[in-house]
Chain A
Amino acid sequence: MSGKNINVSLKIWRQDGPKTVGSFAEYKISISPDASFLEMLDEINNDLESKNQIPIAFESDCREGICGTCGLVINGQPHGPIPKIATCQLHMRNFKDGDPIWIEPFRAKAFPIIKDLVVDRSGFDEILQTGGYISINTGGVPDANAIPISKDIASLAMDAAACIGCGACVAACKNASAMLFVSAKVSQYALLPQGQPERSQRVQSMVAKMDELGFGSCTNTYACEAECPKGISVTNIARMNRDYIKASVTSNSVE
């Protein structure tokens, strides 16, 4: 245990529902520096409930940085000030006594607020449904190593597949663009032999869906990469650009 509690004052976004107007509410708490950020919010909620007040709505599931459910904008940064971690991996020891902490939901037209800090990220699911799959043959179980894949390529694909779909890239981007997420999903298939049959159709459908859902256009500020908890690289965006341009220019479809 690393000693004394710290006192922080929080400004947290409260909004009753999707259509209502939200505003910041102030809370003060004395908390152990060993507590995680979400435990700190749990404490506030316990306190609110004990006073018969409505707790703050926020999302979390695994609390170990693998599910992508959590996601808060803390002092203007998605997942807080520490790079390459999710909100659930952030600890109060990263804040100093007396620090003001602003907590806001991810803000984007394509991520409408459901309540307080909870936003609707089902747009990501819709994008995945348009192309996040591969064709496989039915029949006997194929040998795991039947298709040779070089270590380099396998690693790149794995790096792309590390995306947990949290949406911090959208939250960080000044244009609320989903390019980093979509490019990670496009890349994880495009890099591997198994992803080739749908390669060009996939990138076209996923980009079309992304645009349709009202995410902004990428202007290469690379804020997404800086805030991504999984360190997804913007080279995935370059790969997606390349694939999309190639697919659009060379495909036989004139529609």
Chain B
Amino acid sequence: MSWFNTFFNSSIGKKLFMGITGISLILFLKFHLINNLSLFGGPEIFNTVVKNLESIKPLVRVIEVVLALIFLIHIFNGIRLWIENKKARPVKYAVNGSSKNSTIYSRTMAQTGSIIFIFLVIHLRTFWMSFNSIGVVGIEEHKYYEFVASTFLDPIYSGFYVFAMILLGLHLNHGFQSVFQTFGWTHKKYTPIINVIGTIYSIFVAIAFASIPIYFLFIQGGK
């Protein structure tokens, strides 16, 4: 297996695993989002969706473990790349000209990623732990919708949620097209299309996720 070690630890290997895990997370987000959007259907629909997920608990558990592994590889590799890449330029430039040759979101993947990670921890603590009745924050019998609604009434919580979703959009915008470049899938005909799809997808995901706290805070809460 030493060839695999060499491969995994090479600069291209690290990038490849960043890409594979990244695209998996992008796919996961899509399913997560579809479930979330059922909140707009009202308490009954959302609570049924969650109950349905409850009924396939073992499968959900397996997916969760796989997801956790994917996240860990993505985060571990990301941190490693960040540290190693810092070391590759020990003395910085006095004048930083990077704004003239690259986009800000491509240069700040580590920063957006870190804030998304903080968001993820808070998010899991609030929702995943409560939905699974772990720890103190219990939910009244199957009142998932009501729990979500009351959580988002907190403007600070919702504000941070929206902020994190904007960063997620930026992170995805670079990540999406980056995956194709990393896999070596570039083509004169298709790369421009992929870039556009990536941007649309990122904007859509950010807006769609962020619409939920906004809805509960202003529209539901405003009633």
Contacts and interface: CB of A to CB of B under 8 A. Distances in A.
A184 interface: no
Nearest to A224: B101
B98 A109 contact: no
Given A76-B97, A107-B91, A242-B184, A217 B102 contact: no
A251 B3 CA distance: 10
A243 B1 CA distance: 20
Interface stretch (A56-64, A84-92, A124-132, A231-239): A231-239
A239 B191 CA distance: 14
Interface in B77-98: 81, 84-85, 87-98
B96 A76 contact: yes
A245 B84 CA distance: 21
Contacts of A249: 7
Interface of A is mostly: mixed
Contacts of A219: 15, 81, 85, 106, 109, 178
B182 interface: yes
Interface in A123-177: 172, 174-177
B181 A109 contact: no
Contacts of B97: 73, 75-77, 172
Interface residues of A, number: 53
Contacts, number: 152
Interface of B is mostly: helix
A223 interface: yes
A174 B107 contact: yes
Nearest to B4: A248
Contacts of B35: none
B100 to A, nearest CB: 6
B114 to A, nearest CB: 15
A65 interface: no
B183 interface: yes
Contact of A102 (B14, B94, B174): B94
B93 A107 contact: yes
B13 A248 contact: yes
B10 A75 contact: no
A104 B93 contact: yes
A6 interface: no
Nearest to A111: B89
B98 A248 contact: no
B102 A176 contact: no
A218 B95 contact: no
A136 B54 CA distance: 66
A234 B15 contact: no
B184 A109 contact: no
Interface of B: 1-3, 6-7, 10-16, 81, 84-85, 87-98, 100-103, 106-107, 109, 174, 177-178, 180-186
Interface of A: 11, 13, 24, 73, 75-77, 81, 102, 104, 107-110, 172, 174-177, 179, 207-208, 210-211, 214-223, 226-227, 234-235, 237-245, 248-249, 251, 253-255
16 contacts: A73-B93, A77-B101, A81-B100, A174-B85, A175-B81, A175-B88, A216-B87, A219-B109, A220-B15, A221-B107, A222-B102, A223-B102, A238-B181, A242-B183, A244-B10, A254-B2
